[in-house]
A = this chain, B = another copy of it.
Amino acid sequence: MTKLVQNAAGRMVPDAINGAQAVPYQGVGKFRPSGRKAAPPIRTCSDYPPDGNKVIESLKAALQRAGLRDGMTISTHHHLRNGDHVANAVFAAAAGLGVKDLVWFPSASFPVHEPQIGHLESGVLHHIEGSMNGPLGDYCTAGRMRGMAVLRSHGGRWQAIQDGEIHIDIAVIAAPTADPFGNATGDRGPTACGLLGFALADSLYADHVIVVTDNLVPFPCIPWQIQGNNVDQVVVMDSIGDAAKIVSGTTQITKSPDRLLIAELTARFCDEAGIVQDGFSFQAGAGGTALSFALFLRDLMRERKIKARFVRGGSTQYLVDMLEEGLTDYILDGQTFDLEGVRSMRENPGHVNTSPFTSYNWHGKGNFASLLDVVVLGATEVDVDFNANVVTHSDGRLLHGIGGWQNCLASRCTILPVPSFRDRIPVLVDKVTTLCGPGELIDVIVTERGIAINPLRQDLLAKLRGSSLPVRDIRELKAEVEEIVGGPPAPPALGEKVVAAIKWVDGTVIDCVREVKG
C-alpha cells in the first residue's frame, strides 16, 4: 500500500513512486536541487562506422543491437501527435522480442497509442511515465496499470531527465527527415511536423538513441535539430506517421459566442492592464479560445501600431501571419500545430525552434517562461483560491496531459480564460479535483460571466479600478454558476489506489490521481 504524506499544498501524495523515493511539493520555488546533472556514457568513434552510415535494417534489429531487455525505459515523442506510427511500432517490435516490464516514457501520448493497453495487459509494458490523453488515461484511472503513472510538464520532463530522476535506456526518435549519420529535422519531409525539441533531452541523455525516418537524405541533413553525434542507429520505415493527423485538431477559431466573448474579454483585460505595449510578448495555446484571443490581440496591435518583440508558439497560421505582417520580431516556437507553422519554421529565420530546455526547464539558469508578459492557458477546473487542474475532470478521470501548462505559470501574468461551466458541470469549484498549478501563480480567471483577479495581484486590481470590464469576486462567480447548474459538481467516486502522480516543475509531487470506481 502506498504511504501518503501531506505536501505544502495540503494534498496527500505518495512518498514513493514505483519503488523510488519521491519528494513532496514544498511550495513555489522552495525545493532546492543538489548534486550534478545526469551523465551519459562516454563513447568512442572506434565503435561507430567511419563512413557515418548508421542505417540498420529494421526497428527490431535496432532494438536488439541496443540491448533491449526486461525492465528498460524506452522513450518516444509526440511530434507526430495523433498521426504517430513509431511508438506503436516500437512496442510491437519489443513484444516480438519477448521482453517484459518495460517503462514507456513518452513526451505525450495520444488516442492513436491505444494499442499500448494490450502491451500493459500482456506484461510487455509495466507502466507509462507521461501524459495520457483519452483511452490510456481511462485505462489508468480504472486502476488497471501495474505501476503508477507519472505526469510531468514539458519542462518537468527535461528536468527529470537532466537531473537523473529518470534514466532512459533507449530513446526512439521519429524524424521526418534524417541522414545516415543520424542528423534529423522535423521541418521537412512527407511527415513534416516542425520541430523535434521534445526529443532533444533524450538525444543528449539516453544511453542509446535510435532515429527512425521515412525520408533519408544524404549527409548532411540540414538543419540538424537532432545531432547525429548523439545518435547510435538509424532505421528507415515506409511511413513514420499519417501526415493528415499530425496537424492538431484543436487549431480552429472558436465559433461559440460565449468563448468568443471570453477571448475578447481576455484581450481587453490585457489592454487595460497595460500589457499590450511595444516590445511586449505573449503566449497563447492552440485551443479555440486562445486562438480567438490572439486574433483580438492582433487587431488591437494593428490599430495601435504595436509590435511584439516575440510571441511563443505552439505556432499556427495565425501567429505566422503576425510574424509575416511585422506584428512581432520573432516566434519562439515550442511546437508547430499546423502546416503553415511548419513552412514558416523552415523558411523564416525569425521563426525560431525552441526546446523544453530553453523554454521551460526549472532546473536551468532561468528559462523563457518567466520572460513572458502574458500567457493564456486553459483549465478543466479552477478553485476559489485560483488553484487549477488540467489533467482530470470533476469525475476524477485522467484525460489530459500537462504539456507546458505548469511551466507557463512562471509568466508575468497568467490568465485562464475558461467557461464558467461545461456540460452543466461548473468549472469554478471550491477545491480542484487534482492540483496542477498553485493559485499564487495564477493571476486572472476570465469567464463569460466576469473576470476574477487574484487578490495577490493588487497591482492588476488597481489598474482595472474604474474599468468597464466585469471584474468580479471569484466566489461570487462560483455561487452564480452553482445557482444556474443546480450546485457544485458531484464528488467523484474514488477508490484508495493511487494511479498517477502529478509532478511539479521542480520534480516534487504536487498531487496524485486516484482510481475511479465503476
List residues of A (36-58) whose CB comes within 8 Å of B's CBs.
Answer: 36-46, 48-52, 54
Contact partner of A49 among B330, B349, B366, CB < 8 A?
A: B366
Separation of A311 and B219 alpha carbons in the complex (Å): 12
- Enumerate chain B residues within 8 angstroms of A358, measured Cβ to Cβ: 224, 227-229
Cβ of A110 < 8 Å from any Cβ of B? Answer: no
A28: nearest residue on chain B (CB-CB)? B46
A43: nearest residue on chain B (CB-CB)? B365
Contact partner of A410 among B50, B54, B279, B309, CB < 8 A?
A: B50
List residues of A (321-367) whose CB comes within 8 Å of B's CBs.
Answer: 330, 332, 349-350, 352, 357-358, 361-367
- Enumerate chain B residues within 8 angstroms of A33, measured Cβ to Cβ: 42-44
- Enumerate chain B residues within 8 angstroms of A52, measured Cβ to Cβ: 366, 368, 370-371
A182: nearest residue on chain B (CB-CB)? B365
Cβ of A485 < 8 Å from any Cβ of B? Answer: no
Q: Is the interface of A mostly helix, strand, loop or mixed?
A: loop
A361: nearest residue on chain B (CB-CB)? B229
Contacting pair A181 B51 (CB below 8 A)? no
Cβ of A84 < 8 Å from any Cβ of B? Answer: no
Please, what's the 1-or-0 string for A154-197, where 1 marks a CB less than 8 Å from any CB in chain B?
A: 00000000110000000000000000011000000000000000
Separation of A41 and B32 alpha carbons in the complex (Å): 12
A159: nearest residue on chain B (CB-CB)? B42
- Enumerate chain B residues within 8 angstroms of A466, measured Cβ to Cβ: none
Cβ of A25 < 8 Å from any Cβ of B? Answer: no
A218: nearest residue on chain B (CB-CB)? B309
- Give the oligomeric copy count: 2
Contact partner of A220 among B352, B364, B366, CB < 8 A?
A: B352
Contacting pair B362 A44 (CB below 8 A)? yes
Chain A: interface size category:
35 or more
Contacting pair B40 A37 (CB below 8 A)? yes
Contact partner of A46 among B29, B46, B48, CB < 8 A?
A: B29
Cβ of A428 < 8 Å from any Cβ of B? Answer: no
Cβ of A310 < 8 Å from any Cβ of B? Answer: yes
Contact partner of A181 among B228, B350, B371, CB < 8 A?
A: B371
- How far apart are A290's CB and chain B's nearest CB, in angstroms? 22
Contact partner of A366 among B31, B48, B224, CB < 8 A?
A: B48
Please, what's the 1-or-0 string for A401-445, where 1 marks a CB less than 8 Å from any CB in chain B?
A: 000000000100000000000000000000000000000000000
Given A330-B220, A371-B52, A410-B50, do A365 and B37 touch, yes or no (CB 8 Å)? no
Contacting pair A370 B51 (CB below 8 A)? yes
Cβ of A35 < 8 Å from any Cβ of B? Answer: yes
- Enumerate chain B residues within 8 angstroms of A330, measured Cβ to Cβ: 220, 222
Contact partner of A371 among B37, B51, B209, CB < 8 A?
A: B51
- How far apart are A81's CB and chain B's nearest CB, in angstroms? 26
Given A50-B370, A220-B310, A222-B330, do A34 and B42 touch, yes or no (CB 8 Å)? yes
- How far apart are A335's CB and chain B's nearest CB, in angstroms? 17
Cβ of A116 < 8 Å from any Cβ of B? Answer: no
- How far apart are A198's CB and chain B's nearest CB, in angstroms? 16
Cβ contacts A to B, 8 pairs, < 8 Å: A33-B44, A38-B39, A219-B310, A220-B309, A223-B352, A224-B358, A228-B366, A232-B365
Footprint of B on A, CB under 8 Å? 29, 31-46, 48-52, 54, 162-163, 181-182, 209, 218-220, 222-224, 227-232, 279, 309-310, 330, 332, 349-350, 352, 357-358, 361-368, 370-371, 410, 506
- 9 additional A-B pairs beyond A42-B163, A45-B367, A220-B332, beta carbons within 8 Å, are A29-B46, A33-B43, A37-B41, A43-B365, A45-B362, A45-B410, A181-B371, A227-B358, A228-B358
